[in-house]
Amino acid sequence: DAGVTQSPTHLIKTRGQQVTLRCSPKSGHDTVSWYQQALGQGPQFIFQYYEEEERQRGNFPDRFSGHQFPNYSSELNVNALLLGDSALYLCASSLGTGASTNEKLFFGSGTQLSVL
């Protein structure tokens, strides 16, 4: 049973470019959340997708957008990259969106994005 898979594992971009990160949730999960983890910090919530819609959003600019597909996989898009966007981007999947699903939130290994 595959867990949460993310691709690519590493990515290097330059300022102003656009990037797309991908996530496949754990089998049986229908909800995908994205987090940004800067070096030496804890993960910060970007947004959550359920039923192909953005359900919750953290304090991130509109340059950060996402999508969820009918098979529950998800993409995170970042436009007009800034140096400060360099971070580990984590995808987490779960079943449903209720508070009781927190214990069943599974994280992928992340995509390390470097913006030069």
Partner 1 sequence: GQQLNQSPQSMFIQEGEDVSMNCTSSSIFNTWLWYKQDPGEGPVLLIALYKAGELTSNGRLTAQFGITRKDSFLNISASIPSDVGIYFCAGSEYGNKLVFGAGTILRVKS
Binding footprint of partner 1 on the chain (CB under 8 A)? 4, 31, 33, 35, 40-45, 48, 55-56, 58-59, 90, 92, 94, 97-103, 105, 107-110
Please say which residue, 15 or 55, places its beta carbon nearer to partner 1: 55
Please say which residue, 45 or 65, places its beta carbon nearer to partner 1: 45
Cβ atoms of 107 and 4 closer than 8 Å: yes
d(CA 21, CA 89): 8
Q: Which residues contact 33 (CB under 8 A, 6 or more apart)?
A: 45, 46, 47, 48, 49, 91, 92, 93, 94, 105
What's the token pair of residue 33? 């959340």
Least distance to partner 1, CB of residue 115, Å: 20
Least distance to partner 1, CB of residue 76, Å: 14
Please say which residue, 16 or 61, places its beta carbon nearer to partner 1: 61
Least distance to partner 1, CB of residue 72, Å: 14
Q: Which residues contact 42 (CB under 8 A, 6 or more apart)?
A: none
Please say which residue, 11 or 105, places its beta carbon nearer to partner 1: 105
